[in-house]
Amino acid sequence: MSEFVLSELKNSIAEITFGTPKSNALPGAILEKLAQTILDEGEKEEVKAILLKSEGEKAFCGGASFDELLAIEELEASTKFFGGFAKVLNAMRNCGKIVVVRVQGKTTGGGVGIACGADYCFATKSSALALTEINLGIGPFVIGPYVERKIGKSQFSAMAIDADFRSADWAEQHNIYHSVSESIEEMDTKLEKFLETLASRSSDALALIKKVSWEGTDHFNELMPDRIHMSASLILEESAKKNIESIKERLRVK
Ligand SMILES: CC(C)(COP(=O)([O-])OP(=O)(O)OC[C@H]1O[C@@H](n2cnc3c(N)ncnc32)[C@H](O)[C@@H]1OP(=O)(O)O)[C@@H](O)C(=O)NCCC(=O)NCCSC(=O)/C=C/C[N+](C)(C)C
């Protein structure tokens, strides 16, 4: 099973796991499946909350899949691909259930968007994060509203411009992570207790907390077509393909 999205119900919590062999970077098919799975689980009465996590002990998510980006040759395909990130974040926002995200390691680009789409986010000390899109010649346009909602426009803009990694402690101070642990084991122990308590809460109260937490975000829907177009057109430039090839090479030899 090289690329997958799996869902399992554990003590009233829908545990959704995604995995891909290259740092859990996301191709279009996985984005579509992830979005649909979140919506499907959100509709189930027996589901109190959703836990979103990724495979393995290294990177949480390397963002957009380089191989998929390199294969894109025309606007229709790139619009569909970048639209996939909008669908995932939209699903997290609109599924009606509290979404908890478990970040076990570094996360970049669209992966930062997923962390910022969480209602509650657990992480480890090694879960540094970066908006690396500019290295490719694009920008964090689709995830922008979600990241800005957590860290504010000024910090978002700085992250988007310098593409540097911020530490997990920084992410906790800036409201992305709500709990940072020394190790994966420590995080999982805390997470288990947290989910056990969450499962005992009133479903109606949780649904209302979800509703009020996302108040004022309806305009995200209207922003998306333009935001998707920004990345979708920039990725078609020849320089973007060259940038991706050189990043892949840099990661290969590091
Ligand atoms: C921090 C990263 C993700 C992980 O670091 P690491 O030290 O745990 O692992 P390593 O760098 O050795 O990478 C292992 C292999 O994974 C491959 N990889 C990494 N990221 C990707 C990717 N995005 N697509 C395909 N493959 C990827 C890497 O090449 C290694 O393969 P080999 O073993 O060499 O064969 C670190 O890898 C990193 O910083 N990666 C770059 C991340 C990045 O720039 N992602 C793209 C961001 S753009 C984006 O997400 C756009 C989203 C669209 N939108 C804005 C609309 C949401």
Among 23, 66, 88, 184, name the best residue to mutate to test ligand 1's pocket (greatest count of ligand atoms within 8 A of Cβ).
23
Q: What are phi and psi of 181, to 5 degrees?
A: -110, 160
Domain spans in the chain, listed from the N-terminal domain onward:
4-200
CATH of domain 4-200: 3.90.226.10
| Predicted confidence (pLDDT) per residue in 84-143, tens digit | 999 999 999 999 999 999 999 999 999 999 999 999 999 999 999 999 999 999 999 999
CA of 129 to the centre of ligand 1 (A): 12
If we measure between CA atoms, which residue out of 45, 31, 37, 36 comes closest to residue 15? 37
- Model pLDDT for residues 53-100, shown as the tens digit of each residue: 999 999 999 999 999 999 999 999 999 999 999 999 999 999 999 999
Cβ of 127 closer than 6 Å to ligand 1, yes or no, is: no
- Ligand 1 nearest-atom number relative to CA 106: 1
Ligand 1 centroid vs 106 CA: distance in angstroms?
10
Q: Would you say 62 and 174 are in contact if contact means Cβ atoms under 8 Å apart?
A: no
Cα of 109 to ligand 1 centre, how many Å? 9
133 lines ligand 1 (CB under 6 A): yes
Rounded CA separation 171/180 (Å): 9
Q: Which residue has the tokens 């996590």?
A: 53
Asked if residue 58 has its Cβ within 6 Å of ligand 1, the reply is: yes
* ipTM surpasses 0.95: yes
Report CA(14)–ligand 1 centroid distance (Å). Answer: 27
pTM > 0.90: yes
